[in-house]
Amino acid sequence: MVLIYRALVCILTALSVVQCGPVKQASQRPSTQKAASSNETENSRSYYHFLVGEISNLSSDPETALQHFQIASQYDSHSNVLRLKQAEQLVGLGQLSSANEIMKSLSNSEDPEYHLLAARISAIELDFDQSEKSLDKAIQIYSKNGDSRKRREILLMKIALLSDSRQYDKAKSALLKHLKDEPEDEIAYYFLGKVHSILQEREKAIAAYRRALEIKPYFSTVSRALGLQLELMEQNIEAIDTYQQALVFGSDDNYFRQKLANLYLVEEQYPKALEQFKQLLVAEPEDVQLTFRTALLYFKLEQYDEAESLLKSLLKDNDINHDRIHFYLGALYEERNQNDLAIANFSKVQFSSEYFVDSRLQASSIAQKKLNQPERSITLLVEGVSLNPKSKELYITLATQQEQLNKLEEAIQTLRQASIEIKDSEQILFLLGTFLDRNSKIEEGLSLMRRVLEINPDHAHAMNHIGYVLTLENRDLEQAESILLKAVQLEPENAYIVDSLGWLYYKKKNFKKSREYLEQAYKKEPNEPEIIEHLADVYSKLGQDDRALQMYKKLVRNNSEKNSSNEGAKAPLINKDREARIKEKIASLTTDHTF
């Protein structure tokens, strides 16, 4: 946690309230300057080393500073200023015991700098009570001397100390008391807001920050703090107003523009976000991440030429991932229907990249769906799995496309290879089992489905496969029933699983129970041919010939409408064997041969 005490020093420095270690003017020389003229040489040497020590201190070189202050003390052993300077450097070097020895010799000092150093030492030693007392003594001395500026500075340091020691109520009380006397103290309001924010009193923090900005509108540190509080309260529009106001006063342009850009993105005000990104890019044209984000925003706003120009410029820079750029160039060209360019850029993505799999899948999809080049699509996928043999998505997509081209044996081989490369993938094993079943390798398919259940005991679709196959085979129906009941319990809204259970009861000649489940399935999928036929069959078994006939005719009618429609009907197309079988069933129930 950044200490509030340190934050205060930064704020005061930014406002030119405090000067860090100023070199003393000649009129402020240590006591060596007041020595008798006979000691003028020694005084000059003392003052020389004093000045070198001050310069070293300003250069953050405490060791050198300490050496010169010690030498200066050799020429003026009575100077309390020089001893105090030595103690200060010892504290900076972490030599607290040595510093404390010097401080003891100065314990009666009325120099407020002594008490400030004493407060610093006590704070380092975590003796916050003693540190507070030392600060109070310094405040008392500055008040006596009429130095209101320094008194205010030390008072705020005290408040920061109280906050860092988690004495928040005491800090608030001190601030509020101070603000009664100094109601226009913007720094005090800033620290009051800080204390409220630490205590999660966000509304009070916001009020304090707003008051600080009323007093000093160009106080950029307060604008940052206020904006953050508003963001934390999800008051993004108010935060935007705060950051915009800060920009009016020319404060930290890039910081506030970045904040505005991000908030506009969150609020989906993309054109306004783009304006901020463009301004940021003018200020930092070499920032590759900023260039990339700007390009993506152009892309989002369909300003493809600008996006393309920025993305291409990034390919000249080795500080950014080129695979990422090619991926988005591919997406851009796809949007512009420059499909060959899209595939070319997707294909440039290296196999080791996190974008590789998505790139290959997208290139394959373009070749298959947009260019109607299924073989090219498969070639891209084959090359993809050869380069990245551990990608489940590539194997599954390749096998699916091979199956769609009636290359079932090739699809099975692809999935067999996948199951070797990627052990125990339930998705790969399930698809392989399904394809094996379709290739009349029923037992091997069942074996794989059982393996899927070993991996995932709640895989409802594997249960459905096993239960339905056993039902169709008219064997192990008790086992099939148990499996299908569990599958329905897992996915009660899945019409196909409910249909399987209904058909199992049909096979067990429990037609009333069969009708119960098949009617449920039909309500969920009223245009699925297999469900319609199953329900019609059970109606027929129950002597409800009119209802059976209605279902059969719907099936044939849906199929006829789909065949004659360019757009296609909702019902899936039934094959010729099923259509012939349905017409035979209709003929057995009616003399009307219209269908």
* DSSP per position, 52-87: HHHHHHHTT-HHHHHHHHHHHHHH-TT-HHHHHHHH
The whole-number average pLDDT for the span 293-317 is: 97
Q: What is the pLDDT of residue 440?
A: 96
**Cα–Cα distance between 341 and 321 in angstroms, integer?**
19
Residue holding tokens 């916050």? Answer: 128
The pLDDT confidence band at residue 319, using thresholds 50, 70 and 90, is: confident
Spatial CB neighbours of 134, under 8 Å, sequence gap ≥ 6: 115, 116, 118, 119, 122
Structural contact between residues 30 and 47, judged by C-beta atoms closer than 8 angstroms: yes
The pLDDT value given to residue 464:
98
Note the pLDDT tens digit of each residue in 128-151: 888 888 888 888 888 888 888 888
- The larger pLDDT score, comparing residue 567 to residue 71, is at 71
The 3-state DSSP class for residue 332 equals helix
* Range 162-177 average pLDDT: 88
Q: How far apart (Å, rounded) are the C-alpha atoms in residues 247 and 255?
A: 10
**Residue 317 pLDDT grade (very low, low, confident, very high; cuts 50, 70, 90):** confident
For position 178, what pLDDT does the model report? 87
Residue 222 token pair: 């307060």
Stretch 28-43: mean pLDDT: 54
Are 191 and 163 contacting, i.e. CB atoms less than 8 angstroms apart?
yes
pTM above 0.75, yes or no: no
Mean of the pLDDT values across residues 244-252?
Answer: 86
* The pair of three-digit structure tokens given for residue 252, joined into one six-digit string: 């930290």
Q: What is residue 155's predicted lDDT score, i.e. its pLDDT?
A: 85
What secondary structure does DSSP assign to 481-530, as a single string? HHHHHHHHHH-TT-HHHHHHHHHHHHHTT-HHHHHHHHHHHHHH-TT-HH
Instruction: For residues 321 and 38, give the distance between their C-alpha atoms in angstroms, rounded to a whole number.
Output: 74
Domain boundaries in the chain?
A: 526-595
Q: What is the CA radius of gyration of the chain?
A: 41
100 class by beta-carbon count within 10 Å (0-12 exposed, 13-18 middle, 19+ buried): middle
Given a contact cutoff of 8 angstroms between Cβ atoms, the answer to whether 140 and 150 are in contact is no
Q: Say how many C-beta atoms besides its own lie within 10 A of residue 283's C-beta.
A: 11
| 465 Cβ contact partners less than 8 Å away, ≥ 6 residues apart | 430, 433, 434, 437, 445, 446, 449
- The tens digit of pLDDT for each residue in 366-414 reads 999 999 999 999 999 999 999 999 999 999 999 999 999 999 999 999 9
Mean pLDDT, residues 18-27: 36
Question: Does residue 416 have a pLDDT over 60?
Answer: yes
Rounded mean pLDDT of 419-424? 96
Q: What is the pLDDT of residue 11?
A: 43
Does the pLDDT at position 344 exceed 50? yes
Which conformational region is residue 234 in: left (phi greater than 0), alpha (psi within -120 to 50 degrees), or beta? left
Secondary structure tally for the chain: helices H, strands E: 32, 0
The span from the CA of 63 to the CA of 53, in Å, is: 9
Q: Is pLDDT at 591 greater than 70 in this prediction?
A: no
Q: What is the token pair recorded at 67?
A: 């050496």
In this prediction, residue 564 has a pLDDT band, given cuts at 50, 70 and 90, of low
Mean pLDDT of the chain: 89
Q: Is the pLDDT confidence value at 296 over 50?
A: yes
Closest by Cα among 460, 483, 459 to 470: 483
- Torsion sign over Cα 29, 34, 40, 43: negative
Confidence tier at 521 by pLDDT (50, 70, 90): very high
Helix (H, G, I), strand (E, B) or coil at 593: coil
Whether the CB-CB separation of 24 and 47 falls below 8 Å is answered with no
